Amino acid sequence: MKKNKITLFFILSLLIIGTMFWVYFNKSQASSNAQTTSIVQVDIGNIQSVVTAQGTLEPKDYVDVGAQVSGEIIKMHVEIGDLVKTGDLIAEIDPDVYEAQVKSSEAQLKQLAAQKLQQEALVKQATWKYQRNEKLYGDKAVSKEVLEDSEIDLEVSRANLQALEAQIEQAQSSLDEDKTNLNYTKIYAPMNGTVVDQSVEEGETINANQTTPTIVQVANLDIMTAKAEVAEADIMKLSQGTPMYFTTLGSGERRWEGITRQILPTPEEINDVVLYNVLVDVQNNDHVLLPGMTTQMFFVLESAQGVPLIPLSALGRPVKDQNTDVTQAYEVQVEGTAGEEIRIVHVGLMNRAMAAVTKGLEAGEKVIIKTKSKESAERSGPRMRL
């Protein structure tokens, strides 16, 4: 009797567990099949297919203004942010050493000039002696040896004069170099622009013997270059002349437009991702854009204006259509006068969210989108194991 009770209890337990499993399974199935239906009207709008990339801004035209001589910076005439014009004085280097070199070269040149005058007199004297001996030799008044000696003296005097003239040319060249170095102690702006960087301060000593030290950087902020980092998967979609627009942090609704100027062929590898730099120039007459700003860039591959648009989620399964090669055909649920109907719709340009309708729908019509609710999706996830 006791054994029969145990068996009956075991059978009842199995029946209860089985019933619970059946109820749970059916509820799960119902939940997984639950859908949310939304109705969206076909509107007229614009659509673009774009490649997005992060970028940074830099001036298109800028110059690193350097020093060509060494010395102490005794005066800085500009600061970061100052506007300068071509020829404006930017900085001064201590000129004392270079002024001394100029004076020394001038003194040497004067000394050589005096030596030249002396040597010219000697040449004149040697010429007179030679001419006199040449006449006397014709009259048999001097020997041939005397005539030859006077000729040699004349040639030596002329050679010494030529040597002095060469030394004078060399001294003049040294003087010109010293004057040039003295002029280099004053550093002038080579272009119109804004001082965007300053590398030295007053009192600092710079050495120009090995490298050219940079004093300031002057940039023209009227035209900025946006340098985009485009992934290798997208770079082949772009070319010189591809239109682009970008926004910056804090710019709100404002955006800047430009045309792709250049795609640099040398890639950069960042975190195992290969990126190519793409350069785009934009006008910046109000100087709102500044060097180093981050940009969100959109390269426009295709665009369409004033076309019927529907959400991409409204497209059903694709349908083969041999009548056209340009557009694609899909099944779309449409709310008609008689209720829901399936209609074949042709679409052209698509992006991640919307599709442009080229045939099959008109503005004002309504399409039906059925999606699983969030709760249903969660319930239809991983199931329990009994």
Fold of 36-47+305-373: 2.40.420
The answer to whether the CB of 267 falls within 8 A of the CB of 275 is: yes
In CATH, the architecture of 52-60+221-303 is: Beta Barrel (2.40)
Rounded CA separation 135/128 (Å): 11
pLDDT at residue 99 in the model:
96
- Summarised one tens digit per residue, pLDDT across range 217-257 is 999 999 999 999 999 999 999 999 999 999 999 888 899 99
Q: Does position 171 have pLDDT exceeding 70, yes or no?
A: yes
The pLDDT-based confidence of 319 (bands split at 50, 70, 90) is confident
Q: How many helices (H) and strands (E) does the chain have?
A: 5, 19
- Measured CA to CA in angstroms, residue 152 lies from 28, 111, 122, 177 at distances of 125, 27, 13, 38
Rounded CA separation 117/221 (Å): 59
The pLDDT-based confidence of 351 (bands split at 50, 70, 90) is confident
The pLDDT-based confidence of 380 (bands split at 50, 70, 90) is very low
pLDDT at residue 243 in the model:
96
The answer to whether the CB of 249 falls within 8 A of the CB of 294 is: yes
Domain ranges of the chain: 36-47+305-373, 52-60+221-303, 95-184
Same fold, 36-47+305-373 and 52-60+221-303: no
- Summarised one tens digit per residue, pLDDT across range 259-291 is 999 999 999 998 889 999 999 999 999 999 999
The answer to whether the CB of 275 falls within 8 A of the CB of 232 is: yes
Rounded CA separation 256/251 (Å): 10
- Summarised one tens digit per residue, pLDDT across range 14-71 is 666 666 666 555 555 544 455 678 888 899 999 998 999 999 999 999 999 999 999 9
The answer to whether the CB of 276 falls within 8 A of the CB of 234 is: no
**CB neighbours of residue 385 within 10 Å:** 4
Rounded CA separation 189/184 (Å): 12
Rounded CA separation 272/236 (Å): 19
Q: Does position 379 have pLDDT exceeding 50, yes or no?
A: no
Q: What is the mean pLDDT of residues 106-130?
A: 94
The answer to whether the CB of 142 falls within 8 A of the CB of 133 is: yes
